[in-house]
Amino acid sequence: MDFLADYAGFLARTVTLVVAIVVVLVVIASLRSKGRRKTAGQLQVVKLNDFYKALRERLESALLDKDQLKALRKQQGKTEKKLKKSADSKGRVFVLDFNGDIKASATESLRQEITALLTLATPKDEVVLRLESGGGMVHSYGLASSQLARIRQAGVPLTVCIDKVAASGGYMMACIGEKIISAPFAILGSIGVVAQLPNLNKLLKKHDIDFEVLTAGEYKRTLTVFGENTEKGREKFQQDLDITHRLFKSFVAHYRPQLVIDDVATGEVWLGVAAIDKQLVDELKTSDEYLAERAKTADLYHLHFAERKSLQERIGLAASSSVEQLASRAFDTLSQQRFW
């Protein structure tokens, strides 16, 4: 037991030392970054045709013998020469990704990517958005949808691919696409609005705790967590939800006029195989399948705007990870010692 106590003390001192070093580094980084402008991000562009070509060539090399491979490469060379001669007529596809959280945080990158591609894209090109989102805050997804609307307003065809989920705010974004492609078992719909909050007023009263809410404006605060909610406040809150829902329905109906909006705007969700019957989607196919097909006739460019993290942020992330790993290993080691 003395050994375990000594070992635990050693680990505690080690962790303390590491934390102290991290704090010093963060402070230094903070002082160095004071007064500096935030470092801008960078647009990363990858030609996906090269990726698909590398996959195909790797498989060909593994399956074909030397003579077959030589003949194939010769034929491919002739085909590529013909394609180069007609390069002017070859279309371009700009591929974007949006992985949405409740705050639609990916909008920050999306807006930069769209701004960049609209400087070059023409109606002969196409934008493909690979979208995954279960929805979130109304104003956040409203902004994300407005960014996609810029593509439509510029006259550039927009195709939205959904492999897993595009619900609520996610479907609000998806409906802007001129074509919506869904995997057979992706989740779609949830055209509805929800708000919920606990009320602790009865608990406070039970313990003789007063909580006052002061407002200027009749409806400045309709429902609260700690105050006593009134029927009038509930009615106003529900009224606001209904208004938001009507706007949501109107938005979807504008971009998908083929929908019977009252049939699908119930807050329900459907899998892709059922959503196509409701006309929530136009085609059942994975994004991989669609892009592989487009790569045969067009140049595909994947765009990603990567925000550069400051030195302070990088040190903070690295330090947090290191401390967590060290603490985890220490716990695991002590646990093993006790079982011994």
Catalytic residues: 168, 220
* Encoded tokens for 326: 């060290």
Answer for the pair 45, 301: CB distance below 8 angstroms, yes or no: yes
CA separation for the pair 148, 116 (Å, rounded): 13
**HSE, side-chain direction, 13 A CA sphere, residue 107:** 21
Q: What are phi and psi of 4, to 5 degrees?
A: -65, -40
Q: What are phi and psi of 133, to 5 degrees?
A: -165, 140
* Encoded tokens for 5: 């106590």
* Encoded tokens for 119: 């400087």
* Encoded tokens for 95: 């591929």
Answer for the pair 129, 100: CB distance below 8 angstroms, yes or no: no
Answer for the pair 285, 186: CB distance below 8 angstroms, yes or no: no
CA separation for the pair 208, 271 (Å, rounded): 50
What DSSP element (H or E) covers 185?
Answer: none
CA separation for the pair 88, 104 (Å, rounded): 37
Answer for the pair 272, 184: CB distance below 8 angstroms, yes or no: yes
* Encoded tokens for 138: 């109304």
CA separation for the pair 159, 180 (Å, rounded): 6
Provide CB contacts within 8 A for 212, sequence distance 6+: 227
What is the dihedral sign for C-alpha 48, 49, 55, 61?
A: negative
Show the beta-strand stretches assigned E in 73-197.
91-99, 126-133, 158-167, 179-182, 187-189
